[in-house]
A and B are shown apart, each in its own frame.
Chain A
Amino acid sequence: MKIIVSVKQVPVRDSLLRINGEGTWLDESDLSYEMNEPDAYALEEALQLKEKLGGEVVVICAGPQRVSQTIREALAKGADRAIHVQAEDLGPRDALTTAALLAAVLKAELPDMILTGLQSDDLGYGQTGVILAELLGYAHATIVMEVEPQGNTIRVKRELEDGWFQNVILPLPAVLTVQSGIKKLRYATLMGIKKAKTKEVKTVSASDLVPDTAPSALMERIYLPAHAKHTQILSGDPKDVARQLVEKLRFEARVL
């Protein structure tokens, strides 16, 4: 089983987000980055499938030089090799533009499966996997909670709304977008970190690729959301806040 895992690098959770001078994207100067969490779950699922069935796990990640740290992490956890699609300006791009770059590289890989997280924690498009499936001509399923290989097909458990689930059988090759929590995440071992240094990372420059699409949406401006603020914000030292809150809940909201 050859499995590609498409991962994204995103700003560390709870980063202080500052908008750049033009209001078009983040000021990236003092941000730190990490692997998008749903993609970490996709990687985990891929590694466990490989442990069960044998084969190869290949990680692909698009972005500037800094994403090599995320690629190293994936290799340290057990991916066999990686492809870095080098591109400087992907930050605010639409999902189709970035996915088309990935597809242009992946069409030569002929995997059995492509796994990716169901959405990214930064832009939250939730589209990359589905677009890849369409561009590569593969079947797909989204919001996947379980994967059961069955020869030339796989049976996956999809999460639906309101506590419903559904099993779906798909022919291979297929793209799956993985829901967080599908398996328990592993940590990279010291041994894994050492080994990662010897694994192959192929670099492809986005400018050498010819994706079959042009950008069709533009993020014109980013800003802090306007506050509707009917919220009463309580501040002060913790004891004082607690006292005010209990008073409000008892005598104003009358819920205590």
Chain B
Amino acid sequence: MQIKSASRLVGRALLLPTLALSFSSVAFAGPDENQLIIEGETISTDTKAAAGNPLPHLYSGWRFRSIETQALQADDFENPAFTAVDTGEELWNTVDGSAGKSCSSCHNDAAESMAGVRAKMPSWSDSLGKPHTMETQINACREEQMGAEKWKWEAQDMLAMTAYVGLQSRGMPVALDLEKGEMQDWHDKGEDLYNTRVGQLNLSCANCHGGNFGKMIRADHLSQGQTNGFPVYRLKWGGLGSIHRRFKGCMDNIRATPYKRGSDEFIALEVYTANRGQGLSVETPSVRN
């Protein structure tokens, strides 16, 4: 821990002169300048914000982590999430449920059929009358297509599958379609929630991830709270966690009663946060402290 933070401080101190040169009038302890290269492929970790985005420029959460944590994500053999990815691949090919089917019975090779799916989630579902998250889509296939039992939101199998399916979109830009169905309404509801102050500490998501990203909040380096790397492997959790688990953690920290995982509120918030990261590369599965 101590070595880690010390090296972070050194890294930041070294960066200061460059920062001071490029943004001489702003005191801004921003993201670092490191590049994410996985298996020889460069994954862009920042991008220009689309018109209407409240953020000036988009940065992946990876850019705010310590060099040690960054390194874990930059190597699939070191990335602890890959055990779950392997499980996900096994599950993909395993028959389950009364219809005697596996995911691959219908979707064949995930590398082809699932490429780009994570990048557009959540996406509108006519049959549901609301947006599908990756979790609800997978459960819909299990129940309706396979006659299998649905998985709990944070079940190991669910996390393994969302990680495996998500990985097939790695490197692709997040691109939600807000024109479909009532996506815009869900987005707007999410935006309201994002800007509502909650809890005894009386803070909104935007208070930390909008105005103050780049700054230290005690031992943690505040990012923009992007969701492009989920599910993420958190060292603190010792395993993978969903987007909604992270939302819950942030609400707990400000002493608010969190919404339930899979609730309409968290789905709306997920639509908004995903769209707020429109253009960032999918990094699933990311590693966080």
| A pairs with B | no
Question: B residues near A, CB below 8 A?
Answer: none
